[in-house]
Structure 1
């Protein structure tokens, strides 16, 4: 039995959808905070259990009987994130899971200026310091995150960003397909995975050029100071802690933390990953009211 946490989230739903094509639904269990919501979203055949990362005892019950527990990292930063990850890992161990899989990040490093990458590295260390077999899935940087950062600039024709570096942006759907392939093959990858990335790296300048070509109009790139970008981001209503985390993306990219491509993802899904040109084309063709 495979337990999927965060099953109503964007990644979790896609992992379950991909698993449906490889395993009987009776072998898949969704662990979520809101079971009513999950039942309506996931459809027939998927057992739903209530599990909250802040309630370890409930998690142990939710994870009962699992051969594998797939832990989707939480949308938090700092100690809140690492405490919740550790609680889920401890619950999986206590429930007797044969393998724990955790969605980490290609840039996971304890010294990373990108706060989420630091949190992933802390969680990886906790995973490794235990008796249960584990797989840390080092996901490539979500392409959807790039759209979140520069989406308004793409729409308006001017991307105002700090100095950056190359990133191997990767489609979430491709990562979900790879995760499902690993789960369906009882782990397949032991320990920390190779970076699960797209096949190309892009700077912000590259993205501006691609978007210009796909939109048929010039999209300018304007490099601003870290301080100016941070102030503008906070002025748009982004909480300071998350604005600083997003700035950390640029700081880490400058030093090359995300400048890697690897064939592992393509091998797992059996086809070329979706490229940024296609992702940008789809985004630019959406109605202007679309929110990312």
Structure 2
């Protein structure tokens, strides 16, 4: 029997890459708020869907066997409710298996506000009664250049905490494999790279790779809040930025997992291997 797959957020970084990996799959539906941007996926069915619009979700999930639910973007507390809408639509539609992209260290007490939302979403999934796979990725290697910025300087209250940086490519490949064979990969998995590094060590490694001077500067929470508030971002975004560093300092994203290799059969990228293969990410 065919396994009809739904990919939500199909125009986002992860959703789009998963869609590319599965583009030749015979029974694929892609959901986006802008489905017109998915014209290149000629074999897939494209539908409009928005976590805020339950009517569109019913149409998107109808007839689906395995659904990939990517996290939405909203203030803490609201994100989990958006995800709950998608989970409810999956239940009503009779979806057999949910694959959810969560975050490493997800818990009700996480220092990182988004991790609290991910934990609540995981609870919603468990309460749904559906079969599921939760994939908890660590911070993306792809975000490292953005975190350092044009001055090659990262500032934050991350202390000496470590990050098991993971490549988006590894996460996407893992999701695709799970979607193709969900029964074999039920449960909760951490998705990480092959090692954990402090932020200072990350700067040192980038310096070696790029030949530029990357630096990490430790800040107090007060210092971190002050200059981020000056950027004019909403208070919840500032709290999320600060919380990401506090989660690092607390060791929430330090454990290294072998799940990427276990599921895909391929070792995850190291920083050096990833930025060498995809130099445009850091250039």
TM-score by length of 1: 0.88
After superposition, the Cα gap between the structure-2 partners of 1:237 and 1:279, relative to the gap in structure 1 and judged at 3 Å, is farther
- Is residue 10 of structure 2 the alignment partner of residue 7 of structure 1? yes
Tell whether the 8 Å contact from 1:57 to 1:91 is kept in structure 2 after alignment. no
1:213 lines up with 2:208 in the alignment: yes
Q: Is the 8 A contact 1:168 1:258 kept in 2?
A: yes
Distance 1:55 1:160, change over 3 A: closer
Q: Confirm or deny: 8 A CA contact 1:163 1:225 kept in the other structure.
A: no
Q: 1:224 to 1:79 in 2, by over 3 A?
A: closer
8 Å CA contact retained: 2:23, 2:44:
no
The answer to whether residue 135 in structure 2 is matched with residue 137 in structure 1 is yes
| Counterpart for residue 31 of structure 1 | 31
Contact 1:198–1:275, Cα closer than 8 Å, also in 2: yes
Given that 2:156 and 2:242 are in contact with CA atoms closer than 8 Å, whether structure 1 keeps it comes out as: no
CA 1:54–1:159 in 2, change beyond 3 Å: closer, same or farther?
A: closer
Partner Cα separation in structure 2 for residue 114 and residue 216 of structure 1: 32
- For residue 123 of structure 2, the aligned residue among 104, 122, 125 is 125
Match of 2:106 among 105, 108, 113: 108
Taking only aligned residues, the RMSD between alpha carbons, in angstroms, comes to: 1.8
How many residues matched?
A: 277
Return the alpha-carbon distance in structure 2 between the equivalents of residues 284 and 31 of structure 1: 26
**Using the alignment, how far apart are the partners of 1:157 and 1:201 within structure 2?**
20
The answer on 1:238 being equivalent to 2:233 is yes
1:185-204 aligned within 5 A: 185-191=181-187, 193-204=188-199
Question: Would you say the 8 A contact 2:138–2:192 is kept in 1?
Answer: yes
**1:284 & 1:127 partners in 2: Cα distance?**
34
How far 1:203 sits from its partner (Å)? 0.9
**Separation in 2 of the partners of 1:55 and 1:218?**
47
Aligned partner of 2:60 among 42, 59, 62: 62
Retained in 2: the 8 A contact 1:77–1:119?
A: no
Which of these residues, 148, 172, 175, is aligned with residue 176 of structure 1?
172
SS in 2 for 1:205: helix
Give secondary structure in 2 for the equivalent of 1:227. helix
2:41 is matched with which residue?
43
Distance 1:284 1:216, change over 3 A: farther
Offset from partner CA, 1:87-114 (integer Å, 9 cap, x none):
0000011001011111111111110110
Looking at structure 1, the residues matched to 153 and 139 of structure 2 have their Cα atoms a distance apart, in angstroms, of 23
Q: CA deviation at 1:205?
A: 0.5
Q: Distance in 2 between matches of 1:58 and 1:216?
A: 49
